[in-house]
Structure 1
Amino acid sequence: MAWDLLFSSDFGLFSVFVIVFLLGMSVWFPYFFRKKMREDEKRKVQ
């Protein structure tokens, strides 16, 4: 019943979208910040 409500209602689909979006952000932000930190270190060395 809960799975049916999650994937068949508007607020359930929006919840799934938010969960997927947050998981994507949790992967993307560390990659982005590490990349910027490396660029900053290279700029300070030169």
Structure 2
Amino acid sequence: MELWMDLLFGDAIGLMSMAVVIATVVLLGYYAWMFISKAMKEPPADDSTC
């Protein structure tokens, strides 16, 4: 736990690297949620009689 506290609050480089990791995980989660929500939608009904 001391290592993580040192990484987070020890210097700016450690803090920014942790911010990048967290932002990456958040973005990947958002993209996955968008993909799943689009995939679960039903396609519109096709009313054409061709």
TM-score (norm 1): 0.61
Give percent identity, aligned residues only: 23
Cα displacement string for residues 5-27 of structure 1 (whole angstroms, at most 9, x for unaligned residues): x1211111000000111111121
Give the structure with higher Rg (CA).
Answer: 2
Specify which of 13, 17, 41 is matched with residue 11 of structure 1: 13
TM-score (norm 2): 0.58
Unaligned runs of 5+ in 2: none
Unaligned runs of 5+ in 1: none
Q: Which residue in 1 is equivalent to 2:36?
A: 34
What is the Cα deviation at residue 38 of structure 1?
A: 4.1
1-structure distance, mates of 2:16, 2:27: 16
